[in-house]
Every structure is written in C-alpha cells, then in structure tokens.
Structure 1
Amino acid sequence: MTTGLIVMATGRYASFVPAFIESAREHVSDLHRVFALGEDPDVGRVSPLIEWLPWGHLPWPYPTLLRYHAITAHRGRLEAVDHLVHMDVDMRIEQRCDFSQVDGLFAVEHPWFVGADPGDLPYERRAASKTYCSPTESSQYFCGGVQGGTSRSYLDACLQMSRWIDADLANGLVPVWHDESAWNRWCSEHSPELILPHTYCWPETKVGATPIIVALDKNHGYFRATSTWQAAVARVRPHVAVVRRFVERSARRVLRRLSISLTRRRT
C-alpha cells in the first residue's frame, strides 16, 4: 500500500516545504510521494519525494477555499497512490503516522472544540450555503488541516466539496471557515470511517498533550500576502502596535511631569 501526501505550497507557504518533507520522510509509513501544489516548479527539486503540480497563488481566502478545486484538477496524478492525506504545509510531524490501514475516509478532531456543546461548534450556519450544517446533524467538529483516506474516496469527496463551494461563490457566499466548513458538511453527511484524536493537529502554542502532528505558529498576514508590500505590512504591523503603546506611555509620563511642574510653579 502506498501513501501520498498533498500540500498547498503556493506563495510564501512554499518556504515550509523542506522542513515538512524531513518530518514526513521520518514519520509517515509507506510514504511514496508528496504532491506539492504551487506556482514554483523549483519546489519539486527540494526532494526526490516531491512531485510538483502547478497551481497559482491567489489573494486570501482563495488559497485555502479552492484547495479542493486544486486537488480535483490533478486527480489523474493523485490516483497513482492507494491512500491520500492532505496536510497543511505548515505542519511538523513528530510521531509515527500510518494512514495505510484506513478504509474509506478519516477526519481529525479540531483541538479547540473537543467536547464543546454542539451549539458552540463553528459550523456554517447560513442555510443559503451549500456547506450549511445544523447543530442537530453532528456533535463533532473536524479540523481542515489534516484529512484523507483511500484515494478514490477522498478524491470523490473533494470533487463534491468543490461543487458546493462553486455554488456558494456563484451566490455571493464564502463559507465561514472556507474549506473547513465544506469538510465538516461532508463529514456530517458521510460519517468518517476513522476519527483521529486532536493530537494529529495540535497547535504549537497549545499545552496539555503530546502531539503527533504540530500546526506551527506563524505570522498569518505575511504568509497570506500576495505582494511584497502586503508582506512587509504584515511583518511590521505587530511592531507598530508595540511602538504605539511605548509612545503612548511615554507621552502620558511627560504630560504627568508637565502637569506636576505647572502645579508647583503656580504654588
């Protein structure tokens, strides 16, 4: 049995590929290929494991919203393996993962919503959306960053989810959590054959568990940017807030001292 990983490596996200490949090579059983979808063919030269598949970088949220379209567009190549696993490229695999035993589809519990009340789960709640999911349809919420199964089952799911998103866009709707909303809609209609614990998509900044796959912390604005200017703004913005707070504190101190000085002169 062969396993293929799918990653979206468009724009600045391509910089995560080398580290991702290293952790995948070490920890994913029966790994045959990593399919990297992006606009830069040089990504394919990072490792013999990588097969580059062309897909352009778009303004946010389309890189994530249209990932099922990208996967569907390359179905002919992706069918070459027995099992497919889509992972966000900004992941680090830390323990052994064997996806070759999955029969059908698997989903991963979202680490921030384990045990949450169904009414608090962030499903798409607009009934006009094709990704709409009511609280009575499911009591679990799954992350979009790790998912997959047998190739045919997963590719069939991707095709249907891409159609839902097309229908929403045609009606001027963007699902609230983009591709993740579509995935949860799919899972509410077709129960995954295997549900993996939230340690398969554990945030780097979250404590309380020993992760199997880590979702890396990052500057979202920088990596989602489609231009050098946008990236520069994203990198500077957090520092601007720090400088602003410093200036405000300094100004208050100066005003207090000035007020004290004026009071003393009057007396």
Structure 2
Amino acid sequence: MNLLNVKVVTVVLLSALLLGVLYCYISQTHRFVSFQLQDLKADSRSAEVHPDSHEFHLVAPEHVRYKQPSITQGRTDVVSVTPWLAPIVWEGTFNPVLLDSIYKPQNISIAATVFAVGKYIMFLKNFLETAEQHFFVGFKVHIYVFTDRPKEVPQVKMATDRQLTVHSVPSSNRWQEISARRMELIQMLIEETVHSNTDYIFCLDVDSQFHGRWGTESLGGLVAVIHPGYYRDDRSRFPYERRPQSRAYVAPGEGDFYYCGGAFGGLMHEVHLLTKTCRFNFEADAKENIEAAWQEESHLNRYMWLNKPSKVLSPEYLWQDFKSRNPEIHIIRFSGVVKNYAEIRPNA
C-alpha cells in the first residue's frame, strides 16, 4: 500500500471515529433534553390535567349466574352516562353480584379518610358503625381518622380485614382552614403510608352516615359524586368559584356537573394527583390572599372539570337528610346528617 492510500485510509478512519463521537454526543444530548421536557410537561400537567389511567382488567369467574343484561330495557328516568362516556351510577344500572365476583378474586384493598376535628367528633361513631354495615362489606378496608381529639375516638367493633388508624392533627379556629387542609393531609397520607399497600381510596365527610350498599360499583380511576343540591339545576346556578384571580375559577358557561367535596375517590395515584394539585392551587391562592368560595370543594370542581372523572356517582352516594327524596332517588346510600352549624363550627 503506497503512502497516498495510507493517508486516505487514515482520513476515512478518523472521519468515521469523529462522526461516531458526534453521534453519541447528539444522541445523549437529545435524550437529556427529552427527559427535561418530559419533566417540565409533567410538572405543568400536575397543576391542571393528566392522561387517562388504566384500571384493573375486569375478569369474571366462570359460572356466575346473574340476570341477563339488556341494552333496550333499564332506567329511563335518569342519564347513566356522561358526554365523555363515563358511567353515572344509579340504582338499577349495575349488578352487585357480578361486580363483587369480579373484584373479590383480585384481593383489592380500600382506604377511607374521614376528618373528625373539633365538635365534629360527635358524628364519628355513627359514621363508623354504619360503614361497618354498608361500606365495601366483605373487602379489606382501612379507615384513617384525622382528629384533634384522639382520646374521644369511639371503640367500634370491626369485621375481619377491616381496621382503623387514628392520626392526630391540630385544631383550628376557622372551619374553612380545617376544610382546606384536608387535601394536604390526604396527599401526605398517600405518600407516606398507603401508596404501596392499597388500591383505592375514598375521602368522605364524617357528618354523614351510610344507609345502603356502597361497594365495587363505585370503583374507578377517578371517582366523583354529584352534589344533591344542584343536580337538577342549570350550571349557571352552580356555586363554582367565579373570580378569575383564583386558581379554582370556572368561567360562566363552563363546567359539567357540580361535585361534592364530601365524597370523592379512585385509584391511589389518581387521588394523589388530585390532592397534590388542589393543595398546590389552594396554597398559591392563599399567597395572593384569595380563598375560593367553597375551599377545597371549589378546587376539586375545577380539577374535575379539566380532568374528567372515569366514573360519576349519582346523588344516591351523598344525599342530604334535610331534603325529601326525589322520585329518581330509588335508594339513599350515604347522606349528610341534619346538624346545627352554629353549634359545631368554631366560626359559623
């Protein structure tokens, strides 16, 4: 090989080596930038919107007998699906035997949070006793009670695979602060305690009681409950936060339903994102001296408008005891009890 050929080969090899180094550099830089962009997108999304999540695959065991389903007969007095095709759960729209037979083999576990702060401790015994009778009976349930009066938590006999844990929290002179801190405390509970050993979590008001089944029909990725006070109203009458300065703002002509702050839930990671986002937005508002009209309920409604729930529970799942039952309410499963707010709220 003459000298010229050697030089050509050397130049080719050096060029190939340089191109290889340049390719590796560009590739690694692209990956780094991609990861950064993904992180930025995740951070921005956590404040408003997130992608759909995957739920358990529903597998029915063999030889389970139940009434034949129909697509031409059923409830005609109510709507049982949202415009984004999420089911709305009413009595007569599901088969409890079938659903329980699907979820029971999966050995799922359900957490429930309840806040009994100040004089609200008086409602806890009835809440716990009725939950034993109706809330996910036959499944693993862990109820977490947040209270500033741990010594007054009643002793309630609980069935096998059901347990109660008490978390002490400080009291407050304003019921609005108690309400607002729920998102923060639920977020911390998920991160520190239940994220690794629980499938679903429901967040419920203590001044309520169960009357009928609340079970596997309520399971979903992100679950909301329609407020009984507004489900027949035009959305112009919904008590959304209407000030554009607030991060809970819902503009006139926008919104779907008005959801309860006293009952919501879903898969653990979905509720974690909800509580984290609502807490972030609430605290950001507070720094600007803004408090949403209905505290965490306002922020929850903003969140649920953008992040559509995958399942919506009808007003059966949080009725109001002072209201007479409307014809479409065939059963009351859970309800807020009658009370005198002036007696139980520190600044009512």
TM, length-normalised to structure 1: 0.80
Instruction: Confirm or deny that 1:139 pairs with 2:256.
Output: yes
The superposition leaves residues 24-61 of structure 1 with CA deviations (integer Å, 9 ceiling, x where unpaired) of 11111124211001122325562462201121121221
Aligned-pair distance for 1:171?
Answer: 0.5
The superposition leaves residues 199-239 of structure 1 with CA deviations (integer Å, 9 ceiling, x where unpaired) of 111100101233111110101122112xxxx7xxx8xxxxx
**1:182 pairs with one of 299, 307, 314:** 299
Aligned-pair distance for 1:175?
Answer: 0.4
Q: Which amino acid aligns with 1:77?
A: T
Give the Cα–Cα distance (whole angstroms) in 2 for the partners of residues 204 and 100 of structure 1.
23
The superposition leaves residues 112-134 of structure 1 with CA deviations (integer Å, 9 ceiling, x where unpaired) of 11132121111100000011112
SS of 2:175's partner is coil
The superposition leaves residues 178-198 of structure 1 with CA deviations (integer Å, 9 ceiling, x where unpaired) of 111011001011000001101
Instruction: Confirm or deny that 1:60 pairs with 2:60.
Output: no
- Determine if contact 1:83/1:99 at 8 Å carries over to the other structure: no
Give the Cα–Cα distance (whole angstroms) in 1 for the partners of residues 118 and 167 of structure 2.
14
**2:144 pairs with one of 35, 40, 57:** 35
Give the Cα–Cα distance (whole angstroms) in 2 for the partners of residues 77 and 131 of structure 1.
28
Q: What corresponds to 2:155 in structure 1? A: 46
Instruction: Confirm or deny that 1:213 pairs with 2:330.
Output: no
The superposition leaves residues 226-258 of structure 1 with CA deviations (integer Å, 9 ceiling, x where unpaired) of xxxx7xxx8xxxxxxxxxxxxxxxxxxxxxxxx
SS of 1:217's partner is coil
Give the Cα–Cα distance (whole angstroms) in 2 for the partners of residues 108 and 13 of structure 1.
22
Q: What corresponds to 1:102 in structure 2? A: 219
Q: Which runs of 5+ in 2 are unaligned?
A: 1-107
Give the Cα–Cα distance (whole angstroms) in 1 for the partners of residues 332 and 154 of structure 2.
29
Give the Cα–Cα distance (whole angstroms) in 2 for the partners of residues 137 and 104 of structure 1.
23
How many residues are paired up? Answer: 227
Aligned-pair distance for 1:147?
Answer: 0.6
RMSD, aligned α-carbons:
1.8
Q: What corresponds to 1:71 in structure 2? A: 186
Q: Which amino acid aligns with 2:251?
A: S
Using the aligned pairs only, state the percent identity.
Answer: 25
Instruction: Confirm or deny that 1:25 pairs with 2:136.
Output: no
Q: 1:102 to 1:217 in 2, by over 3 A?
A: same
Give the Cα–Cα distance (whole angstroms) in 2 for the partners of residues 204 and 118 of structure 1.
23
